[in-house]
Structure 1
Amino acid sequence: MDWKSIAFDWNRARAVVATAEAGSLSAAARALGMTQPTLGRQVTAFEEDLGVTLFTRAGKRMELTEAGLSLIDHLRGMAEAAHAAALAASGQSQEIAGVVTVTASNLYASALLPPILARIREEAPALRIQVIATNAIRDLMRREADIAIRHVRPDQPDLTARLVAEDEAALYATPELLARGPLGTLPFVGYGLEDTYRGMLAERGLDVPPENFAFLSEDSHVQLALARAGLGVAAMPTWMGDPDPALVRAQPDAPPLVTFPIWLAAHRDLHTSRRVRLVFDRLAEGLGRIGRAT
């Protein structure tokens, strides 16, 4: 390899790739955690290093020129190689210390993870665990998280996944609300305006009209609060609804409204790291206790 021919700065090349991916300097700067002026200087410096113009400015948009289009695939290849090297290096770490990032839904992150993380802390006090609580799917391939708790099996070939349990949900309400009339005539707490939830209820013999969904929220904690206040019937995991003293099952003799899997996923390279392996295994043990362990 002619090393002398590689005279540009990788950080500047990274700035170009990020700008091309994001479409603007401001978005790229946020993605890289730097200021927009700094990023702009790196892009300009890279263009000067190569002696070509890579972008045209169209308002706030940054559009690749013909020269930029001819080079961007090569630069993306460099970015992917650098990313793969970082993953491999991280996976080789055998020290049970450092940071492990776990992503889970808001409900799991707040209600289920704390006792599991407490046990991990006792076993490996040098570990630092970053919890990303979000209902969005985080991208393990881009290192947005080391471990993800998901309800669908990941299908990317570079991920390793384990089915750790089957969770289940049922309908809950206050006894006072249930005493007001047949279940199908009562107000319900919904997830959104879509008909998926109503269809699920219909499969269980409950034809709940749209107007009965007086309260809507994507947040499970809000749904719980609304149900506890007697404002509606809500679907929630049995491990959350059954112990709640203010609630009872709306259909005590019926099977669960729905069952859903709990998957743990991690990048294969990261899964060879002792710290990631430890957190992965302890999460599997802890989450396996909440439902029907597989």
Structure 2
Amino acid sequence: MNTLDWTLLRAFLAVVETGSLSAAAALIGATQPTLSRHIRALETALGVTLFIRSARGLDPTEAALGLIDAARAMGEAAETFALKAQGRAQGLRGTVRITASVMVANLLLPPILADLRAAEPCIQIELVASDQAQNLLRRDADIAIRMFDPTQNALIARRLGEAPLGLFGTHGYFERRGRPRTVADLDEHDVLGFDRSDALLRAYAAHGLRAARTDFPIRCDDQMAYWNLMRAGAGLGFAQVLLAGRHPELEQAQIGLALAPLPVWLVLHEEVRGNARNRRVADFVTDALGALLRGG
């Protein structure tokens, strides 16, 4: 055997990382039968058994364990090759994949992307709304809008500004329940909480406040659902001041509870910044979103 199809190695790594054919298929966007065929083809080509079934799923054999590092090195080389090739594409046409948080993707980016579409009709956009950090090194996206400081190496990051946070409720809610004047008054109010996320509990603790999950009568981790619950008057909710300021039915609770503002970054891989369409989209989004954050 002189050559080995990278597709087979990609399937192998996906199964190693996830432990099952179904999860691996979802990870790389393939069907489970296709992935199963790729694993069998790789085992035939190598002349070894790579996985055995167990109660946990698929466990790598000793032979497979000895191949993981080499397969990962080949994967990194293939990804680097693809990034460098894309970085040399200079035409203002083709597809740019952008990922952003659910709130940013739904409430801030649509008018920006509409203007971009009018300005650059030959550039197509794929928008991924997700609160999970997409891996730019693996090309899950070309450009990311992130609300936390980037940590991955080989990324180019532009800080666009910051998004202050506040506690908001509807006028109707305040008319029914009154307006809290101090942090202690929150004990008498319905504050919307998170379900599995402990972010709000940690924020409370950082301000010396004691809170338990059950102190929040409605809990939801989906940020758009959380936002809509607040706008429906279901309780007080934490929101970006920029977004809440667009809705006259919302009022900020002035109780002296200062939450740290969210940093807003635009991030792209250093290998694709030389790509004309990626650079154009990155510059366009940087200017437009930066202006919003500055109040322009």
TM bucket normalised to smaller? 0.7 to 0.9
Between stretches 121-130 and 179-188, larger displacement belongs to: 179-188
- Report the secondary structure of 1:17's partner residue: helix
Would you say the 8 A contact 1:149–1:262 is kept in 2? Answer: yes
CA positional deviation for 1:202? 7.6
Question: Which AA in structure 2 matches 1:217?
Answer: C
Aligned residue in 2 for 1:283: 285
CA positional deviation for 1:174? 2.5
Would you say the 8 A contact 2:244–2:250 is kept in 1? Answer: yes
Aligned residue in 1 for 2:238: 235
1:181 to 178, 183, 186: 178
Would you say the 8 A contact 2:16–2:60 is kept in 1? Answer: yes
Give the Cα separation in 1 of the matches to 2:68 and 2:226: 47
CA positional deviation for 1:194? 6.4
Q: Which is greater in Rg?
A: 1
2:17 to 16, 21, 27: 21
Count of residue pairs brought into register by the alignment: 288
Aligned residue in 2 for 1:270: 272
Would you say the 8 A contact 1:173–1:232 is kept in 2? Answer: yes
Give the Cα separation in 1 of the matches to 2:172 and 2:118: 43
- Report the secondary structure of 1:270's partner residue: coil
Matches within 5 A, 1:80-95: 80-95=76-91
Would you say the 8 A contact 2:160–2:293 is kept in 1? Answer: no
- Report the secondary structure of 1:216's partner residue: coil
2:133 to 117, 130, 137: 137
Could you tell me which runs of 5 or more consecutive residues in structure 1 were left unpaired when the two chains were aligned. none
Give the Cα separation in 2 of the matches to 1:116 and 1:264: 14
Give the Cα separation in 2 of the matches to 1:211 and 1:31: 35
Between stretches 206-215 and 41-50, larger displacement belongs to: 206-215
Question: Which AA in structure 2 matches 1:291?
Answer: L
Would you say the 8 A contact 1:172–1:235 is kept in 2? Answer: yes
- Report the secondary structure of 1:243's partner residue: coil
* Alpha-carbon distance change, 38 to 60 in structure 1, aligned in 2, over 3 angstroms: farther
Matches within 5 A, 1:59-70: 61-70=57-66
Q: Is 1:190–2:196 an aligned residue pair?
A: no
* Alpha-carbon distance change, 274 to 186 in structure 1, aligned in 2, over 3 angstroms: same
1:237-275 CA-to-partner distances (Å, cap 9, x unmatched) read 1122223121222219x5864412101111111122111
Would you say the 8 A contact 1:168–1:256 is kept in 2? Answer: no
CA positional deviation for 1:59? 5.7
Give the Cα separation in 1 of the matches to 2:100 and 2:129: 5
- Report the secondary structure of 2:230's partner residue: helix
Question: Which AA in structure 1 matches 2:264?
Answer: I
Give the Cα separation in 1 of the matches to 2:119 and 2:190: 47
Normalised by the length of structure 1, the TM-score is 0.86
Aligned residue in 1 for 2:52: 56
- Report the secondary structure of 1:190's partner residue: coil
CA positional deviation for 1:154? 0.9
* Alpha-carbon distance change, 157 to 249 in structure 1, aligned in 2, over 3 angstroms: same
Give the Cα separation in 2 of the matches to 1:121 and 1:57: 49
Give the Cα separation in 2 of the matches to 1:240 and 1:273: 32
CA positional deviation for 1:200? 4.2
Could you tell me which runs of 5 or more consecutive residues in structure 2 were left unpaired when the two chains were aligned. none
Give the Cα separation in 2 of the matches to 1:75 and 1:212: 49
Q: Percent identity?
A: 38
Give the Cα separation in 1 of the matches to 2:21 and 2:206: 50
Would you say the 8 A contact 1:160–1:267 is kept in 2? Answer: yes
Matches within 5 A, 1:149-188: 149-179=145-175, 180-183=177-180, 184=185, 185-188=188-191
Aligned residue in 1 for 2:111: 115
Cα RMSD of the aligned pairs, angstroms, is 2.8
